[in-house]
Amino acid sequence: MTHRFARLRRFRFNLPQRIAAGLLALFLAQGLWLTSRQTLSDRDYQYARCGREVWEKPSPLAGYYTSCGNIHDGVLAYRAAGLPLTLNVLVERGLDTFRKPEDRVVQTGGVAGLSTWEMRHQLPYVLVLLRLPFLFAGVVLGGALWWVTRRLYGDLGGYTALALYCFCPAILKACVAPSAEILAAVGVYGGVYTCVGVAHAMQGPRRKWRPRIALLTVLFGVAAAAHIAALPVVALLGLVLMWWVAEGRRSQVLPVVLMAVLGALLLLFACYGFSPDAFSYVFRSAAGFVSLSVDPVRRFFENLSQAGMTIAAAAAGVMYLGVRRSRYFGNTAPLLCFLVLVSLMTTGVPSEPWLWGLPFLLTFVGGVFADAYESPRRKMALAAGSAVVLLQVVFCLLSLPGLL
């Protein structure tokens, strides 16, 4: 019997969605566990202070956007880190009207607008607040991965990809520290597959193009604001895949992508509070410089905590090369995106493009494994896939400090 809340307009929350939600809840629980074992670091101080300055007083020093300087290593990460703290200050100021003067959190006697960060003994959950936006981005990325893989490969392919994602220590690590990596991964992964969605929509009436192009612009903006080098990467990958899919409409692919890029740059300008000097510094710095290197991804696969993912990736690669029915667009596209991203290394600003490529690797694994699940040896394939996922779960849990 369908749950009475299982249908909200066109949205269904039946058994597959509940399983996916359960996996994402486990992912969130692991992130909160890791957060509970952490202490505040100098990096936390920097993101908290400068993130709040971006929201509350973006020009504290003459000639600089914040006391961190002219931010060029991903202003979106600073805004995400500072937003919960700024909102907390606003809430506390509102509640202070109902408190006695001596009990007020934001004291204005002599020091107007005293920073909540400097009064961190009055804000016991500051470490959690700093990480919530990045954990939320991790959940959003997992949801996007589930939506794409289930739509392309069915329930079992979606479960495989999402389970490996939710128990990936590298993804968890990126979600429990203020950084641009998980935000850039959301923008790149969402941007590439939205490009594919726009290309499919081009085969239909124009009224269906507009919402997809608007979503594409927002995702390109997220990628650009997270890391400026992510914008040309996602735009080029999306352009290639759109040209591949949009047969009969290829002359319109480049204008659509350029329109989304221009909209993304406008959103990036907005993230800098429409400050021309701070915005221009992004392009005057070396933040967008990239080179080629495979060392980071090699270290990823050599890490024992990623054993399940390493085996899954190797098995998927063998099956892709050996089984002809697995070599189609749905599997080839994420593989190409992964190979491009893992070969990049930013030289101007430290970053991890290989992490942006992990969702594409998991999409590829989910697709190839889904093909194996539908083969004549279905039971053997299901048993092997389950064993690989279980292995990754075990090694991930073993890597969590203080859990076992």
CA distances to 94, 109, 312, 399 from 97, in Å: 6, 15, 57, 46
The alpha-carbon radius of gyration of the chain (Å, integer) is 23
What residues does each domain of the chain span? Answer: 42-124, 131-179+289-404, 180-281
Tokens of 397: 């849990």
Return the H-helix or E-strand segment holding 344: strand 344-346
Nearest CA among 242, 217, 338, 342 for reference residue 290: 342
Please choose, from the candidates 3, 4, 69, 76, the residue with its C-alpha nearest in 3D space to the C-alpha of residue 272: 76
User: Residues 66, 114: contact at Cβ < 8 Å?
Assistant: no
Overall pTM surpassing 0.75 (yes/no): yes
Backbone angles phi, psi at 104, to 5 degrees: -70, 140
Instruction: Report the alpha-carbon distance of residue 147 to residue 139 in Å, rounded.
Output: 12
Question: Among all chains, which residue has been given the structure tokens 């509102």?
Answer: 94
Q: Rounded to an integer, what distance in angstroms lies between the CA atom of residue 16 and that of residue 22?
A: 10
Return the pLDDT at 63.
64
Smallest CA-to-CA distance from 157 within 329, 373, 349 is with 373
How far apart CA 213 and CA 201 sit, in angstroms, is 10
Q: pLDDT (tens digit, 0 to 9) for every residue of the chain, 404 residues total?
A: 455 544 445 667 788 899 999 999 999 999 999 999 988 888 888 898 888 888 887 655 556 777 777 787 789 999 999 999 888 888 877 877 777 776 666 665 544 444 444 444 445 578 899 999 999 999 999 999 999 999 999 999 999 999 999 999 999 999 999 989 999 999 999 999 999 999 998 888 888 888 999 999 999 999 999 999 999 999 999 999 999 998 888 889 999 999 999 999 999 999 988 888 888 888 877 777 888 887 888 888 888 888 999 999 999 999 999 988 899 999 999 999 999 999 988 877 778 899 999 999 999 999 999 999 998 889 999 999 999 999 999 999 999 887 65
Contact criterion met (CB below 8 Å) for 240 and 199: no
Cβ partners under 8 Å of residue 153, min gap 6: 330, 366, 367, 370, 371
What string of H, E and C letters represents the secondary structure of 100-157? CHHHCCCCCCCCCCCCCCCCHHHCCCHHHHHHHHHHHHHHHHHHHHHHHHHHHHCHHH
Using CA atoms of 4, 148, 166, 143 in order, give the dihedral in degrees to the nearest 10. Answer: -50
Q: Please state, in angstroms and rounded to a whole number, the distance separating the CA atoms of residues 317 and 310.
A: 11
First to last CA, the chain: 39
**In which region does residue 113 sit, left (phi positive, over 0), alpha (psi from -120 to 50) or beta (all else)?**
left
Render 1-22 in DSSP notation, one character per residue.
---TTSEETTEE-SHHHHHHHH
